[in-house]
Structure 1
Amino acid sequence: MTGPQENAVRSANQSLNLSGFSRTGLIQQLSSDYGDGHSVRDATTAVDSLNINWNKQAERSAREYLRMQGFSCKGLIDQLSSSYGDAYTERQVTHGAQQTNACQEARGNLWFKNILLGMICHMPDGVDYERRKALPEVWIRTHLRG
């Protein structure tokens, strides 16, 4: 590992001591001109060299948001998954949201299904229509079995 990459590792660990981050969010923090200013390559190498449990990070972020503000389940999911928010993956958002009291009552509920249908609107433009249409049903079958 190069000197700049080792510095990026140190910055990553300091950031993780302060808050929860997704992989994308941490790389953005490390490489941003408003963050630590590392190159994207060094930031990516640094983050990928660490043994980070991204599900635990999503859970931590969800709990941090709920301490600051009374998010609804939908609002929490939007915040955790938004490219303008934390940019967690679908699996990480699922884990993080299900560990909080904001989404516990909604599990298995039609209301929660409607939240997922609303998530389609927030998907990147590159995702084709058939995948957008299928996502909520696949997500529900995969993640909300009980």
Structure 2
Amino acid sequence: MLNKLLFSIAASSLLAGSALAQGVTLTAAVMQEKVVEEAGVKHVALVPAGTIVPGQEVVYDLAFANKGAKPAEQVVLTNPVPATLEYVSGENALVSVDGGKTFAALGALKVTAADGTQRAAEPKDVTHLRWNLAAIAPGSGGHVRFKARLK
């Protein structure tokens, strides 16, 4: 049940309208890292998330593809961090700590407390992630991912 909730949240509000018009599709999946053994060799693999309990991490895998005949340019992928999760890390992502109004590297952001004092933003403050893709060639695609922990 929780897996379905996480997936539905991850799949919403991800592509800018111009990317959709350019033929870009997006598929979101909620995964977990598991140690698996293949041919006697252990490695970490991403597998579909099963039951998630507080404290466990999930990996949001956002697969994008250009189904159009022309390059898709200036593609922006934005994903909110659901309130039930705490951001851990993201591959090549800019983050927001103000509800998606501004984006930067985490180390460049500040959070203002109720008393007006400021402190450096922390992973727990992240509300949204954004990836800016210069261009996606026709027939190609890729993945962006981020990790989050169930509160």
Name the structure where strand makes up a greater proportion of residues. Answer: 2
- RCO greater where, 1 or 2, for CA within 8 Å and sep 6 or more? 2
TM-score interval, smaller chain: under 0.3
> What TM-score does the superposition give when structure 1 sets the normalisation length?
0.25
Name the structure where helix makes up a greater proportion of residues. Answer: 1
